[in-house]
Structure 1
Amino acid sequence: MKIRLWKLCLIAALGIAPFVPAQAASKLIALCYHEVVHNQPPSDPFAVDTRSLVDHLEWLRAHGYTFVGMNDVLAEREGRRPLPEKAVLLTFDDGYRSLYKHVFPILKLYKAPAVVALVGGWLEEAKGAEIPGTRLVREDFLMPEEIREMQASGLIEFANHSHDLHRGILANPQGNVQPAATALRFEGMRYESLADQQRRVATDLARNNATIEKLTGKKPRIMVWPYGSYSQPLLEIARRNGMPITLTLNDGVNERSTPLAELRRVLVDANMTLTDFANEIRVREHEQDGLPPAFTRAMHVSLDQIYDPDPAAQEHKLGQLLDRVLEMGATVVYLQADGDADGDGQPDTVYFPNRHVPMRADLFNRAAWQLRTRAMVQVYASLPLQSFGLADRTMVAAAPGARERRLARELVEDLGASARFTGLLLRDDPGKPALAEPGANVLLELASEQFSTARTYQPEFKSVITVYAGRLGNDGEASRLSDAMAKALPRVDYVELAPASGTPADETWLRQAFAVASASTPQPSRKIVFGLPSRDASGLRALDSRSLARAITTLHTLGAHHIAYTHDEGIDRQPHLATLKRAFSLRSQPER
C-alpha cells in the first residue's frame, strides 16, 4: 500500500503512541466505514479511498480526538476509567479484503483500534465463487489467515454481521425485497410468524458466532445488523447469543446513557469531502443529541386514495403518489394505515395484516417501503387515537379495561411487525377533540402504551400525537389548548397542532396557536408540528392552494421548523403542486 511520503514522515515525527484516556468522561462518536479502495474509483456509494481515510484520521487527531476501542467504552460504562474527552470509535462493516490490504497498515501506524463486522456466509464460499447479491467474489473479502493476523494485533475486534441475513427476502405480495433480519418472509401467499422469524434469526447468529470463533478463537460480543435493520426482540436474541453490544446505523452521538445495545454511528460515504466530514463531526460534538436541527415538511396521505381492487390501477396510483411526493419536496409522509371503506367518515378497516380489524388490502408495507426507498422520505404510520371501537370516547370518563388496552396494543404490534416506519402518529378526532377535554390523561396513557409497543419493532422510533384547537380568540379555548399541550408534550417526541373542524387556519389563528405553543415549551420549533388543513373550514371544498401557501409562509415567518398539511389529494391534483411547492419545499425555502 502506498501513502504519500510526507504523511508517513509526519506520522513518524509525531511519534504517535497509544493514547492515554483523559480524566473526564465525554461523548463517543462512532464512525461507520465500508470498503476502502486505493488508486481506483469508489466501487459503491459507501466506499472511500485511502487518501480520504488518512485525511479523516489526521483531521481527527489534529482537532484533539482520540481513537478508542470497545474495551475503553466498556471500562467507562463499568466505572473503571473515563473515556477521553473526544473519543472516536472506528468501525468497518462487511469484512472487505481491502481492510487487510489498505486499512490495517494505516490503523497500525495510528495505533487506532477498530471493530470489523464479518458476514460468515460470504467467508465460507469457495475461492472464485460469486457472493450472492453482490458483484464480488470470495477473494474480495478477508481470508482466514488475514483475519487471524488482524486479531493477533490487538487492534481489531471482530463483530457478528450475520451469517446469511445480509440480503433481502420477499416481504409482501407486491414483490418488495426487504432486510432479511427484520422482514416477515412472504412465501406461499402467507407470512411467516414472528416466532418463526425469531427462530430463523437466532439460528443464523449462533452459526456466525461459531464461524468467527473458529477463525479468531473468540466468540464475538458485538452485533452489527445488516442494513442497520433491527428490533428490540432481535436485540434480545443477540444478547442471549453473548452479544449485548450492538453497533447501529442510528445517527447521533453516544452519551453514557446511550444503551450499549443501540450505539449510534455516523455513516461515511463516497461523496463526503473532508469539509463535509469535519462538519459532520462538529455537529455530533456540539448540537443537541449530536444531530443538526430538523426541519419537517410533511404530507398526510390516505391509502384510501391509492387503494384499487385492480392491482395494476393501484400500482399506477402509487407511482403517481411517489412522483408527487418527490416533486413537492416533502421530507416526511404521515401515511394513514386505516381506511374508511363505507365513506361515513369513520375508520372501519386497515391496510395491514392484523388480528382484530378487517383488512381492506395488504398495502401499507408496499407503500411505506416505496416511499422510503424511491421518494427518500421518512414514513410515519398514522392511526386514529380512538380506534375502531377498541378505544372509544367513553375512555375519557372511565379508564379502559384490560381488554381494550390489549386490543389497541395488539393492533399496533401487528402494524409494527409487518412494516418498517420512522414513527407513529396518533390522531385525535378533529370534529370532537378529546385531548383538550378534562380526563384526557386517560387517552394519553393509552397512547403511551401504543407508542411503547410500536417502539419494540422500530429503531429510532418517533412519537407524534395530534392536538386540535378551536378558535383561540377567547381565553377559555386558549387555556384548554395550553392545558392539552402541557399534558401531551412530555409524553411524545412531537405534537402536531392543528385547527379543529370548522376552524379556519387564517393568519390570526396561526399567530395565536404559535403563541400558545411558545408558552407551552421552551423550544416550540423543535417539538411542534403545525398542521394545516387542505380543505376549507366546512371540509367540503379544497382550500385554494394560494391560501395554503400563504399560511405556510406565515409559519416560516414565525420561525416554525415543522409544517404539515392534511390531506394531500394528489389523484385530484389538490393542492396545486406548482403553487404550493414554492412555499412548502425546503428546496424552495431553505432554512439554513
Structure 2
Amino acid sequence: MRCRLLLLLSLLATCGAAGAAVAAEPAWVSVAWHDVKDDAAGHVDRDRYTVGTTQLAEQFDWLRTNGWTPVSLDDIIAARQGRRALPDKAVLLTFDDGLASLYTHVFPLLKAYGYPAVASVVSSWQERVAAGETIAYEGAERDATGFATWAQLREMAASGLVEIASHSHDLHRGVLANPQGNQQPAASSLEYLPAPGRYETEAEWRARVRDDLARSVALIEQHTGRAPRAIVWPYGEYHSEAEAVAAGLGMEVSLGLTNGRNGVHRLNGLHRLLLTGNPALAEFVANLPQIPSQRIQRAVHVDLDYVYDPDPAQQERNLDALLERVQALSITTVYLQAFADPDGDGTAAALYFPNRHLPMRADLFNRVAWQLRTRTGVEVYAWMPLLAFDLPDTDRALALSVLRAGQDGTAEPADADYRRLSPFLPSARQLVAEIYADLGRHAHFAGILFHDDAYLAADEDLAACAPAASWPGSERPIEDCRLSPAQKTAALVDFSLEVTAQARRYRPALRTARNMYARVAIDPSSEARFSQSMPAFLAAYDYTALMAMPYLEEVAGEHPAWLRMLVAQVARHPAGLDRTVFKLQAKDWRRDKWLPAEELRDHFQLLVRAGALNLAYYPDDFILGRPALEPLFQGLSIRSFPYRKEQPR
C-alpha cells in the first residue's frame, strides 16, 4: 500500500447504492450471570463475574416493578415457531457454569419471584469434582462444594423453573491454536498439533467437538431426565460449523456473549448482557435495554510486515514493541495487515495465515491479533485486499484478471497499478471467498478493513462480458456488460459482502470497514474515477475509513481548512459522522518524510472540534517510535481529548 497510494490517485470508477439488509426489530434481551455470593467485592473481587446476593435480589425486584417479564426457553421457541408472541420487555435469565450458588442463592430467588431461567453446566466439572478432583476457576481451586451436584440440578429442572443447558463437556478451556503457543477457545479454534507440525483437519475438529458435546448431552439427560435443547458456548465463542454440530445433537438454541437485542427470527448465537464487577442497580438498569449504539473508534493502521522477521526471537521483540506502543496509545482498534506486501506494491503475493491459494510468508496474523486482543484489549480488524491477489499460477491469474481494451481493441489485463482479479468471474470470486474463509478459520479478530484495491475504471472490466460472467454474490447473468459507474460500485460492494459472509462462517460477529479516498466525499462525481460512493459505503459497511490525507491529495492551501471542509461534507450524510473514521497520514510518501507528531495531534483535535468521532492514522513505525508517542496520545487516545462517550452496551 505504501507505494500504491501515490499511483492510484490518477485512475478508477465508483459505486452505486448497495443497501444493507435491515433486521427485524429486536424483541427481547438476555442477561448472563455466573457466581452469586453474599460478600461480592465488585471490581476488586478476584472473580470479576461474581454478583452479590443483595444486588441480584434488587435486580429481580426492579424487573418486576418496571414491567419486565422473564421468559422461558419454551417461550422463546414458541415465539420463533409463531405459536405465541413474547410479552413486551421480555428478558431471558441465564446462569453459567453450574456453580453451587445456582442452587443455594439463585434457585431460592427464582422460586420466590416465580422467574424461569436457563442454567448451563460444564458436565466434566460436575464429574471431576464428584470424583474428588478440583477445578481451577477464576483464580482459585474449587472442589465439590463449589459446584451444584447432579441431584440439585435434577431438582431444579423438575421444578419447571430451570432449564438445564449444555456449556459443553470439556470445551471450557483453551487449545494450542498456533505454533507460537497461544491457547484459544477450544470450540471455535483449530488445534495446532506440534508433533506433526500441522493444524487438525476440519474432520478432526468436527469429531473432537461432536464427541465432546455428545458426552455433555448424554450426561445431562442421564442425570436430569431431559436432554438439553440449548448450547451456551464457552466464552461466547462459536461459528456456523460448531452450530451445525450442536443442532445435530438436538440443541436447536445457542447462546453467545455479544451485546445486543434478540429477535424471534432466529434461535442461534443469541445475544446476552454479561454482568461483571457486581454492578450497582443503576448500571444494570442502564445496560439492560441493550440500546444499539455505534462504537467509537480510535485506531492505528499497522503493517504486519514490520513485525515479521525470519529470526523468531527478533520477531517476538518486534511484537513486544507493537504491543507496548498500542497499550501506551490507549486506543480502541488496530487495523492489522493480514497479507504480505514487503515490496509495497499493494498486491498480495503471500499471506500471513494458512490458506488454500497463496504462499504463506509466516503463520503470524493469528498470533499478533490474539496478543493485541488479550494483552491490550483492542479490537483487531484484518486489513485485506478484495481483488489484488498475485496467484502463483501466472496463466490462471491472467485468465481471471480485470480486463480493459488494449490499443488494438482486444481485451488485456488492467494491471497498470494493482493486479486484480475480476469480481465478475465466478472462479475468481470463489478463490477470493476461500481465502477469506481460511482467514476466518485460522484467526480470532473483530472485523475486516477492505484495502483500496477494489476499483473499476471507466474502461474496465471487460471480463463482465465473458460467457461465464455473473453478478457478484449471485449466479445472475449480466445481460448488458456495459456497466455504469453506479453498477460497478454496486458490484464491488456486493462482492465485498460475499467474501465477508465466508469469513463470518467462522467469525459470526465480524464488522466491516472499507477505505475510501477523500476526493469522493468532497466531489461525488469522482465516483467515476474511484469506484466509491459515500452513500453506498455508509449503507453497506459498519465504518467508512476515509483517507483524510492532504499530502496524498496534494491539497493546495491550508490543511486545517481542508479537513474542516471534509468533516462538513461527511456530516451531510445521515449517520455520516457516526460511521466514518477519519484516517490521517503519518508520512508524506511523495517526499519520503515522516510528519511531525505535533501536526497529527493538532489535526486530530481539529477534527474532533469539527464533529468527527472516529479517528485513525497510517502508517506507524513501532520499531523506531515514529510518529512520536506523546503527541499521538494527546490527539488520538480515548483518554486524552474530549470525545463522545458510548451509550451503555
* Matches of 2:522 and 2:504, distance apart in 1: 38
Q: Is the 8 A contact 1:424 1:454 kept in 2?
A: no
CA distance in 2, matches of 1:431, 1:535: 24
Distance of 1:476 and 1:409 partners within structure 2: 31
Counterpart AA for 1:87: A
2 CA distance for matches of 1:193 and 1:26? 37
- Correspondence 1:101-116 to 2 at 5 A: 101-116=104-119
Is 1:47 matched with 2:36? no
Corresponding residue to 1:441 among 479, 485, 490:
490
Match of 1:153 in 2: 159
Structure 1 Cα separation of the partners of residues 520 and 267 of structure 2: 47
Kept after mapping to 2: 8 A contact 1:502/1:539:
no
Cα deviation for residue 194 of structure 1 reads: 2.0
Q: Secondary structure at the match of 1:145?
A: helix
Is 1:427 the counterpart of 2:451? The answer is yes
Q: Matched residues in 2 for 1:543 and 1:37: separation?
A: 55
Shift of 1:274: 2.1
Shift of residue 472 of structure 1?
7.1
Number of the residue aligned with 1:477? 526
Tell me the equivalent position of 1:57.
60
The structure-2 alpha-carbon separation of the partners of 1:473 and 1:293, relative to structure 1 and needing over 3 Å to count, comes to closer
Q: Which moved more, 1:35-44 or 1:180-189?
A: 35-44
Q: Which residue of 1 aligns with 2:5?
A: none
Tell me the amino acid that sits aligned with residue 428 of structure 1: D
1:141 pairs with 2:147:
yes
Superposed displacement of residue 352, structure 1: 0.9
8 A Cα contact 2:28 2:91, kept in partner = yes
Q: For the Cα contact (< 8 Å) 2:33–2:49, is it kept in 1? A: yes
Matches within 5 A, 1:24-103: 27-39=27-39, 41=41, 42-103=45-106
Contact kept? 1:329, 1:587, Cα under 8 Å? yes
Answering whether residue 169 of structure 2 is matched by residue 163 of structure 1, we say yes
Mean Cα deviation higher: 26-35 or 124-133: 124-133
1:572 to partner: Cα distance: 2.1
For 2:207 and 2:626, the matched residues in 1 are separated by 47
Deviations 1:128-171 (A, max 9, x none): 21126762223321112101110111100000110110111111
Within 5 Å, give how 1:378-457 maps onto structure 2. Answer: 378-389=379-390, 393-394=402-403, 399-429=423-453, 439-457=488-506
Q: What's the secondary structure of 1:380's corresponding residue? A: strand
- Is contact 2:156-2:162 (8 Å) kept? yes
Deviations 1:340-383 (A, max 9, x none): 23455543222111121121111111101111011001111111
Aligned letter for 2:383? S
Note the C-alpha offset of 1:552: 1.3
Q: Which of 277, 284, 298 is equivalent to 1:277? A: 284
Q: Tell me the SS of whatever aligns to 1:425.
A: strand
Q: Distance in 1 between matches of 2:333 and 2:591?
A: 24
Letter of the 1:158 partner, please give it. Answer: I
- When residues 473 and 460 of structure 1 are mapped into structure 2, their CA distance, relative to the original with a 3 A threshold, is closer
- Note the C-alpha offset of 1:26: 7.3
User: What root-mean-square deviation, in Å, do the aligned CA atoms of Structure 1 and Structure 2 show?
Assistant: 2.7
2:267 is the counterpart of 1:266:
no
Instruction: Give 1:18's aligned residue.
Output: none
**CA separation in 2, counterparts of 1:361 and 1:481?**
32
Tell which deviates more after alignment, 218-227 or 570-579.
570-579
In structure 2, relative to structure 1, the CA distance for the partners of 1:536 and 1:306 (3 Å cut) is same
Correspondence 1:409-558 to 2 at 5 A: 409-429=433-453, 439-470=488-519, 476-477=525-526, 484-499=533-548, 502-504=552-554, 506-519=559-572, 521-536=573-588, 538=590, 540-558=592-610
TM-score by length of 1: 0.88
- Whether the 8 Å CA contact 1:430–1:468 is kept in 2: the answer is no
Which residue of 193, 196, 203 maps to 2:204?
196
> In 1, distance between residues paired with 2:531 and 2:315?
42
Compared CA separation, residues 356 and 397, structure 1 to 2 (3 A): closer
Deviates more, 1:462-471 or 1:559-568: 462-471
1:175 aligns with 2:188: no
Q: Distance in 2 between matches of 1:349 and 1:324?
A: 26
In 2: Cα distance, 1:431 partner to 1:256 partner: 39
Q: Secondary structure at the match of 2:552?
A: coil
Secondary structure of the structure 2 residue equivalent to 1:304: helix
Which consecutive unaligned segments of at least 5 residues does structure 2 have? 1-24, 392-399, 404-413, 415-419, 461-483
SS at structure 2 position matched to 1:262 = coil
| Maintained 8 Å contact 1:334/1:380 | yes
Could you tell me whether the CA contact under 8 Å between 1:482 and 1:516 is conserved in 2? Answer: no
Higher relative contact order (CA 8 A, sep 6+): 2
Q: Secondary structure at the match of 1:61?
A: helix
The residue type paired with residue 110 of structure 1 is Y
- Residue identity matched to 1:275: A
Q: 1:507 to 1:476 in 2, by over 3 A?
A: farther
In structure 2, what residue type is equivalent to 1:128?
G
CA distance in 1, matches of 2:421, 2:168: 50
Change (3 A) 1:472 1:99: closer
**Alpha-carbon distance between aligned partners in 2 of 1:108 and 1:118, rounded to the nearest angstrom:** 20
The whole-number CA distance in structure 2 between the counterparts of 1:26 and 1:503 is 43
* 1:67-111 deviation line (CA, Å, top 9, x unaligned): 211122223223333222211211001100111011111111011
Sort the Cα spacing of 1:148 and 1:574 in 2 relative to 1 into closer, same or farther, 3 A.
same
Farther off after superposition, 84-93 or 290-299: 290-299
Q: TM-score, normalised by structure 2?
A: 0.81
- 8 Å contact 1:26–1:84 — kept in the other structure? no
1:563 matches 2:615: yes
Report the 3-state secondary structure (helix = DSSP H, G, I; strand = E; otherwise coil) of the residue aligned with 1:526.
coil
TM alignment of 1:293-332, pairs within 5 A: 293-332=294-333
CA contact (8 A) 2:252 2:268 kept: yes
Matched, 1:365 2:366: yes
TM-aligned CA deviation for residue 437 of structure 1? 6.0
Match of 2:135 among 131, 141, 150: 131
Instruction: Give unpaired runs (5+ residues) of structure 1.
Output: 1-24, 285-289
Does structure 2 retain, via aligned residues, the 8 Å contact 1:379–1:421?
yes
* Distance in 2, Cα, partners of 1:215 & 1:73: 25
- What is the CA–CA distance in structure 1 between the aligned matches of 2:120 and 2:522, rounded to whole Å? 59
**Deviations along 1:430-483, whole A, 9 cap, x unmatched?**
999899966333332321221111111113111111112348776743886796
**Within 1, Cα distance between the matches of 2:621 and 2:571?**
31
Cα 1:361–1:539 change in 2 (3 A) is: farther
Q: Distance in 1 between matches of 2:503 and 2:346?
A: 26
How far apart, in 2, do the equivalents of 1:563 and 1:380 lie? Answer: 15
- Give the corresponding residue for 1:591: 644
